[in-house]
Amino acid sequence: MPLSGTNAREESDVANTNSDDENSAEDEAVNGSEEPTPVAQKVQTAVANPEQQSTNTSSLPTEGSIARSTENGPVQRRFNYVPVNTVSFALPDGYSTSRSDIEFLGSGAYGNVIKTLVECRDGEVRAVAVKKFRDPFCDQLQARMIYREIKLLQIMRHDGVIRAIDLYTPNTVEHEFKDVYVVTEYAGDSIVKILHDQKVTGRTHITPEHVPFIIYQLLRVLKYIHSANIIHRDLKPGNLALTSDSDLTVLDFGMARSLERTETSLTQYVMTRWYRSPEVIYWNIDGYNEQVDVWSVGCITAELMLGQPLFPGEDTNAQYEMITSLCGSPDEELMRKIEATSPATRRVVESYPFHKRQNFTQRFSGCPPLFIDFLDKILVLDPEKRLTVEGSLSHPYFADYVDATDEPTAPSSFDLNDNPSRSRDEWKGIIWQEIQNFVGDDASPKIPS
């Protein structure tokens, strides 16, 4: 289903922006207009030869593992340093450094992303997104998050999930290791940018007819990653990319983690506030689970239809007021669950004004009835009563697109082996080995000889 008012040229110009949705979605231009000149000094670093390695990229690293050697020895990669928006990017030989090919896509808390072109092993020239992590080893938590992301981007196999096609560092020895880059195929424009462009230009790209098609694709992805025992935890328009044909790709798994149902202290404040579920922001009923992603789906669905965020709270108090004014305050059943986890939390919740749940038909008058019914079932405070991913996929709102034979699940759970007791330096060593062991496939960049 093509987006309204788009064409092939527009698709080639779109940006996978990773900036927070509260901020402006406008892309920043690459500084200057001159052709960038590669630095005189080209750094060489050894990487494993993909022709000599097994193609199994799903094996997990172990502490003290040694990079695999090859019969012909390691391949040397050379790097050109290119400044983009005050950030210096190390691009391997084979990646275009032409000013006309490079585009700044965005920045977030954990890194900066640019777009460029590269020739791949299958002979195709592809647009790619190059992410440079910001200060990857500043602490143990940061290093662990980066490990999880680069591991997931290698082992997930779904047409709606971004995947790593290159992983590298320009650093030549482990004791000097400080830069981490991950490269993915360029997946199109982010939804946050599309919605921003709609406001600026007045041209509608996402129509009401697009919404169920887009959200159905998102639910397919969630069915897959949840079956692998993974929750995304940061679903938002800025982490969803669309082509001009409305094909969706989920980006940025930096906040994703294994779902351990016995754990009661999963990290709070991980998602962009506007898309956080109430159990993440305000209460932790025996820890939280995959239903946090489902709440985010509801917020995104409403935003696609309305063209603006549903709960744009300026702080957590404002966020709570917006949520409860629409969805109602917790009922006594939910209050008992909250109290069982934390009596103090119940007292805090009771201190807020009480709201009755609004009539969604009246609140969203003029919207399609099936959209309203879906939203009414998914934006529910109690995660146990909230529509699940499976329930969402069977909702009649998606009847025109659903194909149960094309909703793949993971063959098994992904055990990320991300032991939180590991130190920063241990994670640093593990990530170093991940880079040395990276194999890629035919869609990965060709390494010039």
Q: Which residues are annotated as a binding site?
A: 132
Rounded Cα gap, residues 17 and 222, in angstroms = 21
Which residues are part of the catalytic machinery? 234
Place of tokens 């971004």: 162
Is the CA virtual torsion 340, 343, 345, 347 positive or negative?
positive
**Residue 90 pairs with which residues in a beta bridge?**
81
Q: How many CA atoms lie within 13 A of 374 on its CB side?
A: 29
Rounded Cα gap, residues 328 and 322, in angstroms = 10
Annotated binding site for ATP: 132
Residue type, 295: W
Strand pairing report for 181-185 and 230-231 = unpaired
Which structure tokens are listed for 47? 């990487």
* Under 8 Å between Cβ of 414 and 231: no
